[in-house]
Structure 1
Amino acid sequence: MSLFDDDRPQKKVAHEIGSDLALLSVDELTQRITLLTEEIARLEAERTRKSASRSAAENLFR
C-alpha cells in the first residue's frame, strides 16, 4: 500500500440523461456541462461530415 492513494482508479465523468442533479456540486455540474458541450460539437461535426458525403453521392447519381 502506497503512502498516497495514486493507484486507485479515477472516477470517469459521465452523464446519464434524466439523472438527479440535486446531488451534484457546482464543480460537477460544470464538468458535465463541458462534457456535454464537447459531445454536442462532436455530434454536429459528424452530422456535417455525413451530410457532405450524402450530398456528394446524391449529386453523383443525378
Structure 2
Amino acid sequence: MDLFDEEAPKKRSSHEIGCDLSSLSVEELQQRILLLQGEIARLEAEKERKAAGRKAAGSLFK
C-alpha cells in the first residue's frame, strides 16, 4: 500500500445544520445566513430544472 493512496480529507462545511450557534458573532451569523441563502437558491434552481424535465417527459409520453 502506497503512503499517498489515502483520500484527501473531506472539506468541512462552513455550517452544519443544528450546530450550536451561541458562540458565533453577529457577523459570523450573517455570513452563515448568506451561505445558506445561496444554497437555497441553488436547490430551488435544481428543483425547477428537474420539474421542467419532468414536464417535458410527461408531455412526450401522453
**TM-score scaled by length of structure 2:** 0.78
Q: Which amino acid aligns with 1:60?
A: L
Secondary structure in structure 1 of the residue aligned to 2:17 = coil
Runs of 4+ in 1 over 6 A off after TM superposition: none
Query: Percentage identity across aligned positions?
Result: 63
Q: Which has the higher contact order (CA 8 A, sep 6+)?
A: 1
* Larger helix fraction of residues: 2
- In structure 1, runs of 5+ residues without a counterpart are 1-11
| RMSD, aligned CA | 1.3
How many residue pairs match? The answer is 51
**TM-score scaled by length of structure 1:** 0.78
Secondary structure in structure 2 of the residue aligned to 1:56 = helix
Q: C-alpha displacement at 1:18, in angstroms?
A: 0.4
